[in-house]
Structures are given as structure tokens and as C-alpha cells.
Amino acid sequence: MSQVLDRTRIQDIDALRGFALLGILVVNITFAASGFPIHLAQNPAYDSWLDHSVHWVSSTFVDMKFYLLFSFLFGYSFQLQMEAAQRAGAAFRPRMLRRLGGLFVLGALHGVFLITGDILSVYAIIGLVLLAMRRVKDRTALLVAGGIYVYMFITLAVAALFVDSTQFMDPTTAVAAAQETTANLAGSFSDVIGEHVRALPTYGLSLLTVQGPTTLAAFLIGMVAGRRRLLQNTHDADALLRLIQLVGFAIGITGGLVYAAGGNGDTRAVLMSVMTAPFLTAAYVASLLRLMHSDRGEDIRRLLAPAGRMALSNYLGQSVATMLIFTGVGFGLAGQVSPLETVGFAVGIFTLQLLLSHLWLNSYRYGPVEGALRAVTNGTAPSWRKLTQAA
């Protein structure tokens, strides 16, 4: 019975990671489908009420939420891996350094060849900070995470008060640049790579100002949660989960609506989203945990868990799929797909990944990329095939 409960709890984490993959794809696919999001510009070809409605829904419920969930789960898994290495008597630090090095290489290749922007290389760099802080007390880790959000509030509030973003973003210039980027994305492989490389400074600025600091905060909170097994001790915490839902949805949706109303480049709207997104992320986690532990929620866990178990392979696979659909390497549909159709492509890709993940894990222990990264981590030859279990 204990082994069954432990397996269920592990599947909970995998299912949450699978759920995060869908949200990340909904965001990332917009950067593959058009050059307009990259330049924070509105595409005049898609200016109907339906197009704006899709934008509002995405900005309110998806943007800035799911990378936090993915980052939280990275910190959580980091703690579990460290404890597993200690139980096995293995040296955790050199193993983790090799793992982070492999992750950085994958991320760099991903960001140059497959899609605009990348989170894996960022995880690798910030993971070094997490590795250095692995022995800090829970209170210290949470204080640092809280301090990051205080810093974010102060810097973004000052920027909102004293910096006029319109000085840096002329709408006409932004639209022209977005049209050029879209044309290049629909061009040859070298054109696509050129756009990815040109976007690196803009993406790097976003990482330095918003995504990087909040990712570290989520890592630290996830590490503390992993120490306390918070995701594995929810069977008696229904009242707490309900409270998280109530507070999280109220604050998170309000902040999301303000962010959606602010439009592209509004620093005050970004400030509101940064400060309230963790609440909505927490509400999503609480909702999914309660759902998966309901009478009919077992199927949700079983559906999502395999995709989350091979999340790295699926994350990279999403970029391969969007590249084939939107760039000139494949069908060249960049700039020709409406916001609603783009979301439809995301749902279709994720549905296919759910099916492929189940099929792959019926025969193999790890996802294809997970097996290779595990080999780098352990300094061994890659091995994916399932071990034969004795009766």
C-alpha cells in the first residue's frame, strides 16, 4: 500500500509538469507563429474582437504563469535528486554540474536553431545558484525568494513612474520590424537562425529584468517544498488547497486582467502580472491536485503524467513541431495563422505528445533526451530500454 501511495505522489508531480508543458506551449507557439509578439506589436491582419479575446484569455490565464510552475517543479525535483544521491552515497555536486552543463548546451542549441528564446540555458545558469544554496535553511531560502519579489516590485514600480516606454517603442517602427521578422521566419533555415540570433539581446534583457529573478525565486520555493514533501502530503490538506484556490484565483485573475488591459510594453501592467502570477500558479496547482485525488480525477493523472515524466523531450519536441509548421523549413505558415488557430495548433501538438509519451514509456524507462542527459549526469553510456522485472 505504501508503494502504491508513493507512486501516486510521484505521478502527481509528473502530471503537474505535463500540465505546465501545455501552458508553456501556448505561450511559446505565438513567438514561432509570428514576429509580432517578439517586437511587442499588434498584428493589423488580426484585429477582430475574436483575436483580441484570445489575447485577453492568454494574457489573463497563461502568460507568466506556467514557466513559474515549471521552475517550481525544477526546484522540487532538484531537492529529490539531491536526497536520492545522498542515499546512494553518490557525490551530488559533480553530478549536478554535469547535468547543468548538458542542459546549458541543449538550451543554447535550442535557442539558436529551433525557436526564439530558450529557458533551458537559463535553468542551467540559475541552477548553479541553486546548487550553491542547497544547504541553506528553509527560512533563508524563503527570505531570498521574498527579497527577489521585493526587488522586482521596487524596480518595476520605479520604471512605471519615471520611464516612458513609448520613447523606446514607436508603434509604426515596431510593426515594420515585426513584418520583417515574420517574413524571415517563413524564409530559409539561415533566415530563421538569423532571427533567433538577433532576438537574443532582447530576450536576454527580459531574462535579466523579469524572468531570471522570478525563476530563481521559484527554484528556491520549490526546493523548500521538496524538503517538506508538500506535493506528496496533500491527502489531508483539502481545506488548505481550497483556501489556496480561493485566494489564488481572486488575486491572480485580477492581476491577469490588469495585465491584459495594459497592452504590450506597459510597465505597470507587467508589474501587476509579476506580483500576482504566483497566486494564480498556486491556484492551478491546488486545483489540479484536488481534481486528481477526486473519484474521477485518476484518469487526469494517468493522462498527463507520462508527458511530464519526459518533459524535456516534449519541450524540445514542441519547438521542432512549431518550426516545421511555421518556418520556411517546413510549411512556412508564419504570419498566416490567427491567434485562435495558433492555440488550436498548440492543443493539437500537445494531444499528439500525450499519445506519443504513453507509447514511448510503454517500452522505455526514460524519454529520448532524458536518457541522454542522464548519461551525461552519470558519466555512463545512454540507456533507455526498460529493465525486465522478475515476476
pLDDT, position 389: 46
Predicted pLDDT of residue 186: 93
Q: Per-residue pLDDT tens for 295-307? A: 888 899 999 999 9
CB 259 within 8 A of CB 60: yes
pLDDT in tens, 25-79: 999 999 999 999 988 888 999 999 999 999 999 999 999 999 999 999 999 999 9
Output the nine-digit C-alpha cell for 102: 548538458
**What pLDDT score was predicted for residue 315?**
97
Helix-strand-coil split of the chain, %, nearest 5: 75, 0, 25
Amino acid at 131: L
pLDDT over 70 for what percent of the chain? 93
The length of the chain is 391
Rounded Cα–Cα distance for residues 13 and 73 (Å): 8
Q: Each residue of 186-220: pLDDT tens digit?
A: 999 999 999 999 988 877 777 777 889 999 999 99
Compare 181 and 91 and report the one with higher pLDDT.
181
Matching residue, cell 545522498: 86
Residue found by looking up cell 515596431 in the block: 174
Report whether pLDDT(224) > 50. yes
The mean pLDDT value for 151-170 works out to: 78
What confidence tens digit (pLDDT) does each residue in 72-125 have? 999 999 999 888 888 877 788 888 999 999 999 999 999 999 998 888 999 999
- Give the pLDDT score at 1: 39
pTM of the predicted model as reported, rounded to 2 decimal places: 0.92
- Can you give the residue ranges of every domain in the chain? 1-378
Asked if residue 272 has pLDDT above 70, the reply is yes
Output b/e per residue, 83-106; b: 16+ Cβ within 10 A: eebeeeeeebeebbbbbbebbbeb
- Contacts of residue 133, Cβ cutoff 8 Å, sequence gap at least 6: 140, 141, 144, 220, 223
Residues 336-364, mean pLDDT to the nearest whole number: 96
More confident residue, 59 or 173: 59
d(CA 223, CA 230): 10
**Residue 325 pLDDT exceeds 70:** yes
pLDDT reading at 169 higher than 70: no
Residue 252 confidence class, pLDDT cut points 50, 70, 90: very high
